[in-house]
Amino acid sequence: MNKKRVYSGIRATGRLHLGNYFGAVKGMLALQDKYDCIFSVVDSHTITVPYDPKTLKQSVREIILDYLAAGLDPKKCNLEIQSKVPQHTELAYLLSTIYPVSRLEDLPTYKEKKAQYPKYINMGLLYYPVLMAADVLLYKAELVPVGIDQEPHLEVMREIARKFNSMFGQTFPEPQRFKTEGDYVPSLAGGRKMSKSIEGSFINLNDDLETIRKRIAGASTDSGQIGGEVPKEGGVANLFKLLKLFKLNNEFNKFEQDYETKKIRYTELKEVLVQAIYKELQPFQERRKKFEEDSKLVDDIINASNRKCLQMAEETMREVREKMGLD
Ligand code: ADP
């Protein structure tokens, strides 16, 4: 029997951060041993927000290097660059003909991006979930390791798969999100999730000890004199969530008690976090150096993966074109 397929992608909008790592990459690592995996740098999604064409290629390369350094193993999974498999956009167009515009306009991610880039509201932004559905369905993937913020997009994907199957015959599975423990890593800037596009919100996987310390120092706290239960939202809550994420349970309990009794010292809590983050990232940073120094190896990995992805993608497209009467 064929193994289940898995697909996930990350945009090339900057270097990977702890949110991407816990929400997506940890899931990828957990699945690569068991399933047929395709992990992508989704550059066609990247260009829906303002970007620099001169640096895009390098940004794509950086994510591939981050993937390899994080432990994605090209012997176990395929590393894809989305635009190098043109079947993604072909399938997205075909799927867009069976999906209502009104549903796309209602999606929270679209509304957020509209608010973030009011001068850059483009068709690609609206179309994003359709292309994402095509990304996953192109490989008939059943599992998608992504953060909780992507759940509305997974719902669109399943709706599209159901609609296609009912109109043209059983073709696509209904993909499910693969959940990780860290599927919502909070922002260091308080409020929303850690994100590449929100300055001051993130820690990059390549940050050195001093940078980590500086970024954590910038995280908002309170006077430490409030006492009572630890808040559920905001800067302090986020620091406690990070302690949990790094499995610092004893420290969590200690600082929780300190908070309740108004004895908490945030500099102490922050330093505990800094050390834990640095320890987690060190092996990643060492592996990355090795890949950075061997660009031929990285090129070979990309080319071999690309050949396999093109083959798998074309297999699905032949079936889709035939079912839609376009063969
Ligand atoms: P960003 O929001 O930083 O630009 P992407 O949109 O490229 O990141 O998302 C890439 C992957 O990382 C997705 O699977 C997304 O769900 C996950 N992800 C991004 N931010 C977080 C976060 N703060 N917590 C958990 N997962 C996240």
- 162 with 250, same domain: the answer is no
Sheet with 77-81, side-by-side order of all strands = 77-81, 36-41, 5-10, 143-145, 176-178
User: What is the three-class DSSP state of 1?
Assistant: coil
- How does DSSP assign 199-251, residue by residue? TTS--BTT--HHHHHHHHHTS----S---SSPPSSSHHHHHHHHHHHTT-HHH
Identified catalytic residue from 26, 140, 196, 270: 196
What's the domain range around 151?
5-184+295-323
pLDDT at 101: 96
Show the tokens assigned to 263.
């004895």
d(CA 268, CA 237): 16
Instruction: List Cα–Cα distances, 133 to 36, 96, 121, in angstroms.
Output: 18, 10, 20
Mean pLDDT of 152-180: 97
Whether 26 sits among the annotated catalytic residues: the reply is no
pLDDT tens digits for 260-272? Answer: 999 999 999 999 9
pLDDT at 321: 98
- 52 with 167, same domain: the answer is yes
pLDDT tens digits for 87-97? Answer: 999 999 999 99
- 279 with 299, same domain: the answer is no
User: Which helix (H) or strand (E) is 81 found in, with range?
Assistant: strand 77-81
Position 289 pLDDT exceeds 80: yes
- 104 with 243, same domain: the answer is no
What pTM was estimated for this model as a whole?
Answer: 0.93
Position 105 pLDDT exceeds 90: yes
Residue 147 in any domain: the answer is: yes
Residue 97 in any domain: the answer is: yes
The verdict on the CB of residue 11 being under 6 Å from ligand 1 is yes
Whether 114 sits among the annotated catalytic residues: the reply is no
Residue 244 in any domain: the answer is: yes
User: How many structural domains compose the chain?
Assistant: 2
Candidate from 104-108, 117-121, 167-171, 190-194 with smallest mean pLDDT: 190-194
The verdict on the CB of residue 59 being under 6 Å from ligand 1 is no
pLDDT at 318: 98
pLDDT tens digits for 62-75? Answer: 999 999 999 999 99
- 67 with 141, same domain: the answer is yes
- 259 with 306, same domain: the answer is no
Mean pLDDT of 270-299: 97
- 88 with 222, same domain: the answer is no
d(CA 43, CA 83): 6
Identified catalytic residue from 26, 113, 140, 270: 113
- 70 with 214, same domain: the answer is no
Quote the ligand 1 centre to 133 CA distance (angstroms).
17
Mean pLDDT of 105-117: 91
Identified catalytic residue from 193, 241, 254, 323: 193
Residue 200 in any domain: the answer is: no
Instruction: List Cα–Cα distances, 30 to 153, 180, 181, 287, in angstroms.
Output: 22, 9, 12, 18
Residues in CB range of 206: below 8 A, 6 or more apart: 15, 66, 281, 284, 285, 288
Residue 307 in any domain: the answer is: yes
Whether 193 sits among the annotated catalytic residues: the reply is yes
- 31 with 115, same domain: the answer is yes
pLDDT at 1: 58
The verdict on the CB of residue 197 being under 6 Å from ligand 1 is yes
Residue 124 in any domain: the answer is: yes
Burial code of 198-210, b = ≥16 C-beta within 10 A, e = fewer?
Answer: eeebbbbbbbeee
pLDDT at 62: 96
CB 140 within 8 A of CB 320: no
CB 8 within 8 A of CB 40: yes
Show the tokens assigned to 22.
């816990």
> Which is more confident, 196 or 159?
159
- What's the CATH code of the domain at 35? 3.40.50.620
